[in-house]
Structure 1
Amino acid sequence: MGASGMTIRFSCCEHTGTPVAETRPQRWSRLWVNLWIKRPGVAEEGRDALARHHAETTRRAREAMIEIVRAGYQIGPPPYGYRALRIRVTDPGGCSKLRAVLVPDWQTAAVVKQIFVWRADDGLTFAAVAARLNADLRQHPAPSERWTAKAVRRIVTNVKYTGRQVWARTAAGRPAPVEQWVTSAPMVHEPLVDERVFRRAQHGAREEQRCA
């Protein structure tokens, strides 16, 4: 068999008796040609079936994510100030599954609370809060090397700090309208800030984001 998927057979020329190589496509190669070249209708049907399968898989995955979030469980890495506690739960069908719930991290949770105080009570900008945090990194450990205005904004605008789970805050890389967010009931985990302080901290957040 040749490298191109062809069967090579040798026969003798009827005039000279010299061996001549004949090539014959493998059965799967002929089927491939029939599927993608000779019968375009079949190929189109296959692509449609694949698209339907992809859409159905995406729909089921989204429904599963929504169910997890509304039940109050964490998806992905925990936000700064929390750690993920793995627990085993049993679904209505009797299947045992591992889920993650958020619990405060004793060191970084205090930093989150301080950020909201500086933002909501003192009215500091994201950049000003970051500067204060960077002045004492031992007391205020950063998520990465140093605090930035973007890192502070990510904390200040995260609803999870109020004790709710939330998902789908962005769509196609852009912020989604609040009414499209998937949220849980309140107090599914210990909040680090109450709702009133959280709302005060949002004042001017969009304007700062546009200017950043």
Structure 2
Amino acid sequence: MSRKNQTGTASTDAQVNGLRFVFYGRTSTVRNQDRVSSQGWQRDMADNLINGHGQVVCAYFDAGTSRRVPWRQRPQAAELMTALSSPELAVDAIVVGEYERAFTGTQFLTLYTWCTRHGIQLWLPETGGPVDLANRDHRALLSLLATQSQREVLRARHRVLAAMHNQATQQGRYLGGRPPYGYQLVDGGPHPNLADARWGRRLQRLAPDPRTAPHVAWMFRQRLAGHSIASIARHLNERRVPCPSSADPDRNRHRTGGAWTLRTVAVILANPRYTGRQAWNRRATDTSGPASTPALSAKAAHPALVTEQDFVAAQHVRAARPAGDGQTRRFALAGLIHCGVCDRRLDSHWNHGRPTYRCRHGHTSTQRASQPRPKTLYIREDHLVDQINVRLGDQDGDGHATLESARTRSSRVATALRDSGQVIVCDNAGWRLQEIDSS
């Protein structure tokens, strides 16, 4: 029979006096925590607990794994459970160095149930030995430990987010991540934390990248001149300007595209960092507290590639623009028309002074057509609305549509479709109404 020692390698059988224990420990990160020290003190706690009762025959230690990850999804914890399920490894108990390092939420109860089913004891320093949930004091203590562990997670998260929010808004500090396209990282001086500074840690800040910064400035000029995002992306591709994943492949290994897309250009034009202000947490999903909301520095933190006035003006270009007759461009059926050929939603498209919808079956304006594709589908909003009204019987006695403005009729049809949970499916042969699949 072979077992694993502290380093995870197999060790030969040895005479064990008393119970055979498996040690488990965990540390959240390998970057900000010393694995050797963390594993050492947790192992010391376990050894002191089982002294005189037996000895550890193998050890498992997860480094860089959050406590919120279930045991079955932690590499070492999952391996431990697999090993203990095998009859080849004779073990009497699991011992952990600290409850809060190993468990949170209902994880302990899940593991305790599993251990009971396999005839294995579970030892904790907090209980001074094996846990017995038949003991009222143990149940109360474990309930308290579970609450405390969850509270520690929430408090740590809140403190970190609050500190980062302050560092971004009040100090304009660069807080990591890939630098935006158009910028590069340069030395930002010694770290403000004296202990970190003594260890040689230094801050970083953003500075214009001479290779890519001119392209960012050009994009904003084009947008302010009224050019569409698709037109900007297409011209960048035609000029063979490297896109972010091509310009900095080491920091964009998760991206494989080598061309500009609509989204890439849109994200750059909407990034306030180009005004010189530092931004953080722009994609926040939890806005329950001030520390969880997006943050923008109170003053400039790095050289700007566009003025604040031009940046704000560029955002307004994205809004609905007036047509030639001064009317506001409105698309009442946007998102409600699907292509019967490729199942895409039709794009809103202003054509000859009226709202229309089209599907190019996957072709985008950022690239020139390079392969055959189905004929582009065009649908006029007013024609489609009139046909729907006729089918629904919304007409007067002479068979003509009721007298009301085209905009009102379109809005009424759109409201009726949304209320009934239907969409319009169109192809070159006609159209039909279809229930939205909620599954």
Q: Give the TM-score normalised by the residue count of structure 2.
A: 0.38
Q: Tell me the equivalent position of 1:44.
A: 143
Q: How many aligned residue pairs are there?
A: 186
Give the match for residue 109 of structure 1: 213
Whole-Å Cα distance in 1 between the matches of residues 280 and 203 of structure 2?
Answer: 16
8 Å CA contact 2:284–2:294 kept in 1: the answer is no
- The aligned counterpart of 1:59 is 158
How far 1:93 sits from its partner (Å)?
A: 5.5
Give, in angstroms, the shift of residue 37 of structure 1.
Answer: 8.3
Aligned to 2:123: 28
Partner letter of residue 62 of structure 1?
Answer: L
Displacement, 1:107? 1.4
For 2:227 and 2:134, the matched residues in 1 are separated by 63
C-alpha distance in structure 1 between counterparts of 2:159 and 2:315, whole Å: 34
Partner residue, 2:236? 133
The 3 A distance-change label for structure 1 pair 125 and 35 is farther
Stretches of structure 1 that go unaligned for 5 or more consecutive residues are 8-23, 175-179
Q: Contact 1:88–1:99 at 8 Å: present in 2 too? A: yes
SS of 1:202's equivalent in the other structure is helix
Amino acid at match of 2:157: T
Once residues 214 and 168 of structure 2 are traced to their aligned partners in structure 1, the CA distance between those partners, rounded to angstroms, is: 25
Counterpart check, 1:161 vs 2:274: yes
Residue 190 of structure 1 is matched in structure 2 by 303
CA distance 1:47–1:200, shift in 2 (3 Å):
same
Q: Tell whether 2:92 aligns with 1:6.
A: yes
Seen in structure 2, the aligned counterparts of structure 1 residues 26 and 94 have a Cα distance that, compared at 3 Å, is closer
Q: CA deviation at 1:126?
A: 1.5
Match of 1:181 in 2: 294
**For structure 2, which runs of at least 5 residues remain unmatched after alignment?**
1-19, 21-86, 94-118, 246-257, 288-292, 321-334, 336-346, 349-439
The residue that corresponds to 1:17 in the other structure is none
Deviation string 1:81-113 (CA, Å, 9 cap, x unpaired) is 000113332427575242111100011000000
Q: Tell me which stretches of 4 or more aligned residues in structure 1 moved more than 6 Å.
A: none
Pairwise CA distance, 1:205: 3.3
The 3-state SS of whatever aligns with 2:204 is strand
User: Aligned to 1:124, what secondary structure does the other structure show?
Assistant: coil
Aligned CA distance change for structure 1 residues 169 and 90 (closer, same or farther; 3 Å):
closer
Name the structure where helix makes up a greater proportion of residues.
1
Q: Is the 8 A contact 1:119 1:201 kept in 2?
A: yes
Q: Which amino acid aligns with 1:52?
A: R
Q: For residues 9-64 of structure 1, give each alpha carbon's deviation from its aligned partner in whole angstroms, at most 9, with x where no partner exists.
A: xxxxxxxxxxxxxxx96673994542598743322211101111101111221123
User: Distance in 2 between the 1:172 and 1:201 partners?
Assistant: 25
Once residues 60 and 28 of structure 1 are traced to their aligned partners in structure 2, the CA distance between those partners, rounded to angstroms, is 32
What does residue 147 of structure 1 align with?
260
CA 1:36–1:91 in structure 2 vs 1: closer, same or farther (change >3 Å)? farther
What corresponds to 1:15 in structure 2?
A: none
Residues 121 and 131, structure 2, Cα contact 8 Å, conserved in 1: no
Q: Could you say which residue in structure 2 is the equivalent of 1:124?
A: 227
Among candidates 74, 87, 102, match of residue 188 of structure 2: 87
Cα distance, 1:200–1:53 mapped onto 2, change above 3 Å: same
Name which structure has the greater RCO, CA cutoff 8 Å, separation 6+. 1
Residue type at the aligned position of 2:92 = M
Question: Which entry has the higher C-alpha Rg, 1 or 2?
Answer: 2
Distance verdict in 2 for CA 1:133–1:88, change over 3 Å: same
SS state at 1:190 partner = coil
